[in-house]
Amino acid sequence: MDHHITICTSCRHLGTACRPGYELIARLRAAITTAGDAVTDSFEVSGVACMAGCDRPCTVAYHGTRKATYLFGDIDPDTDIEDLLAFARLYADLEDGWCSSLDRPGKLRDTTLARVPAAMLAIETGKVRAS
């Protein structure tokens, strides 16, 4: 697998004890499996206890070798699976993982908490990334 999606399993729906991360993992895995395209073969989905975005549940991160890392917040398993799948397709096609908010699908345009350049690109002197 070249790409990884990490989902917080500790996030709670605001004001409730419900932890939707496990449902999000199950639904996204199912969507990736049934996609039947390059995403099916190149993405793995797993959970982690917390990604320090606790005020914006659920949080979801995209990682790839030599690619920018993204952290999204406010993700809901009932409404956002298609946007997550669409971003997986986009992310897989980007050589360095870098894209502007306008390129991100649907809700992900407005719910990006962080975009961190790949370590190799971050240390290249004189290289400035446009958004």
- How far apart are the two ends of the chain, measured CA to CA in Å? 27
Is 8 one of the binding residues for ligand FES (CB under 6 A)? yes
DSSP-derived letter for residue 124 is: S
The partner residues of 123 in beta bridges, in order of sequence, read none
**Binding status of residue 53 toward ligand FES by CB under 6 A:** yes
CA 98 to CA 90: how far, in whole Å?
Answer: 10
What is the β-pairing status of strands 43-48 and 112-116?
unpaired
What's the min distance (Å) between Cβ of 30 and ligand FES?
22
* Tokens, residue 86: 């669409």
Q: Which stretch binds ligand FES (CB under 6 A): 7-15, 32-40, 78-86, 116-124?
A: 7-15
Q: Is 11 in the site for ligand FES (CB under 6 A)?
A: yes
Q: Is 69 in the site for ligand FES (CB under 6 A)?
A: no
Residues contributing to the site for ligand FES (CB under 6 A): 8, 10-11, 50-54, 57, 59
